[in-house]
Amino acid sequence: MAEEHHGGGASPVLRVEAESSSEQRVASSRGAMSREDCVEGIRSALKHPTVRFLREEMEKAGCQVWPRLIQAATCSTAGGYASREGIKVCCNHMRLQDEINQVIIHELIHAYDDCVTKNMNWRNCAHHACSEIRANHLSGDCHYKRELLRGFMKIRGHEQDCVKRRALMSVKTNPYCSEAASKDAIEAVWNICYNDTRPFDRAP
Catalytic residue among 23, 57, 107, 132: 107
* Closest CA relative to residue 58, chosen from 20, 24, 91, 87: 87
Name the residue type at position 135: A
Lay out the sheet containing 70-73: strands in order across: 2-5, 13-18, 79-82, 86-90, 70-73
d(C-alpha 60, C-alpha 201), whole Å? 15
- Whether 17 is catalytic is no
What burial letters (b/e) apply to 101-114, b meaning 16+ CB within 10 Å? bbbbbbbbbbbbbb
d(C-alpha 134, C-alpha 160), whole Å? 11
Q: Which residues are registered as beta bridge partners of 87?
A: 70, 81
CA angle 24, 141, 117 (to 5 degrees): 135
> What amino acid positions are annotated as catalytic residues?
107
